Structure 1
Amino acid sequence: MVSSPRNPPFRAEHIGSLLRPKELVDKRYAVAGGSDTAESLVPIEQKAIKDVVTLQQECGIHSITNGEYSRHQFWGTFMETLNGMEEVNLREGGYDQSIFRAYAPDVKSFMHAKTIPNQVTVAVGKLSHPGRSSFLPELEYLKSILPKEKWSSIKLTLTSPSWYHFRYGPNKAYVQGVYNNDDEYFDDLAKAYQQELKILYDAGLRNAQVDDPNLAYFCSEPMLEGWAADTQNFQTADEQLDAYIRFYNKCFERPADFHLGIHLCRGNYLGSKHFSEGAYDRIATKLFNDLNVSTYYLEYDTPRAGGFEPLKHLPKNKNVVLGVITSKFPELENKQNMVDRIYKAADYVAEGSGESRKESLQRLSVSPQCGFASHAEGNALGHEDMRKKLLLVRAIADEVWPGEA
């Protein structure tokens, strides 16, 4: 059962990660390298979060995040803290690069650049939640610096359930003998995910966004060709997508007043790189109708994501946040062009639902297409460029939805 959509959704959104101050990045690397203490990071991190919350408020962004400043990478530490999950050195753990799907878009890019990770995170034992949440401190700190009436505006970004599954070949996300098949692995991981959501809900979180580039990879023709050619696969790409949707729906079981969205993009890596291309058409029907989320945060800043036609499949009880502003480069988009694009998207929603343009607009919002810094160093633009982008998002929202948040 899909929870009730935020009605209306926040009109001006951002995806989660914001450019980190250099002092914060340097300190985190110093701590990771052992030349400084974890305690020394705390005041720098907290000041940076206070500053970025102020920035969001000044730019008129009402869904407040911590900019992901408590993390080095966008996915955080949820998977790594689960009982049974372990980071293993490729060679010391008896693995080699054959553990990876070479045609997975991010893996393919890393292999081409000869930067494939030396570590793999896999299940070495049965998975279970440790009973404490690595995301909870992020929520509690935001609550501590915001008045109580603003707590409902807090948004946390969460890890994709398939983050440490998609990139690995069949039955390679877990050590042999730990699980007999993916269904067993998915069942335990879903229980852990449900417990994580319950902890956050009980602490007051009512708005979360799952960051998931993996589902968008099923729009990529080179990935699909690689999948079809892989003789190790025991199911088709369509069957894997169906399995993921069933798995995600188990993960996403939650109270009806817990608003959950999912962000799909095609990669956001160092130097403003992307990993894949392909329109949503191929997955839109299943994505919009079968996945138990209320809001879709969709990349739409360049032709690599295709057109708005798939929005005809959007059900009447769901929302889309249109990522028409790029977070990868400093050039500022033309406001009127972006307004016109939103109206065009609304017309496709209306065509599919039988609503008027005005009615369809009630289920749309606007945002950048992805975070500004999914990884610590961030994209190829500056802090002032980011501020102008956020202000542009607010200005577009004010024109399309005057008087609304």
Structure 2
Amino acid sequence: MPDRILVIGAGITGLFTTLYLSENGYDVTLVDRGDISRGTSGKFHGMIHSGSRYSTNDRESAIECIRENARISKIASDFIEDTGGYFVALNEEEEKFGDKLMEGNKKCGIETSEVDPQTFIMDIEPRVSKNAKRVFRVPDKIIHAYEFSMAVAAESIMKGARILTYSSIKPKDNGSVTISDGTNTKNENFDTVINTAGPWAGIVSELFGSDELKIMPTLGYMVVYPSRFVNSVINRMRPPSDGDIFVPYGGSTILGTMAIVTDDPDNPQVEEEDINDMVQEGKLLIPGINGIKYSRTYYSSRPLIEDSSGNARSTTRDFRIMQSSDNSKLISVAGGKFTTGRLIGEEILRTVCSRNGDSFSIPDIDLNSSYSRFLEKFGSGKYSRILRSIQGRTGTIDEERILPSVSAVIGSMIDEISWKEW
């Protein structure tokens, strides 16, 4: 009988962990207190990193990013917009930093080319400041995170996993775990518990009797503009800082990010003055936003690895997998990014298989076809009517808005299938 594994946290790391474990024959249940990709994985800036933001001070993370950029683009191209990214220097200090950036990118294997600033402003991104003194092109991309995450979830269900959303967990003294969504309740024993709860991973670790995991939850604030005024990811040519990146996402543009270390990842702690300061910084890069009112702000809680500095900017974006000495069943992960979520899932699989003495494989799964294969298998019955209605918008003015709706329906189907077949 295969090992029974509980995965906690339905962000991109938990989803790929579930997919790879299921693919390798484990009996996997994934639980989240909210929806799929509702936490950090649904609240970042939508960017698949080239690694360039980290190549000068966090090289291992940069290398992971560029490798995963290529891997994800291969298996899930339908969810990715290859916008490219640019680093722009606005002053002499940033021009000089460009030499360091170019060297760091070269060492990390990140393809980087220098672009004439005037050509860039005239032909590529006319809204960027006319003060641009130096410009580099890098392979940054945009990913539609919700739809991509749901494809991984659908693939996991087809491999035999269960995904239970809006559900609570409660460890019992006898080693079992009670899982409940308020209507359905199960009490089960698991051989392994994998904690992929992101910024809440420390809380989950303590729930299972371990206080070894040290997370530094960091709130990353972003501002959303209701129009798309850049077509590429635009970065300031300097070390990561507040108000230094614009990301085109759908019909909007996102300005980010401001980083604030917090004790409570569920409690946004930001002053309007801080948001305004970030906007003012952004205006130096894209002066045209001076006449555009942003439509909203949002924040993402990042699961950074705690270090002695307590500085959210200098802390690594790499990840760490820990096997608890307090609870032999518990494996936890800290750190990482959406870009490296697939890689972390792979490394968790390696950890589990190494501990169990099992062999494993990690095939390239075609996530572009996951929706169609999932609906072919499970799309009949009570969901067929709403799916027919959504798909009937093909060829209409709303065709580009179909996929998020299909994703939401698949999410409901996944939850129902999981409880029904358990």
Question: TM-score, with normalisation over the residues of structure 1?
Answer: 0.28
Comparing both structures, which one devotes a greater share of its residues to strand? 2
Q: TM-score, normalised by structure 2?
A: 0.27
Answer with 1 or 2: which has the greater Rg: 2
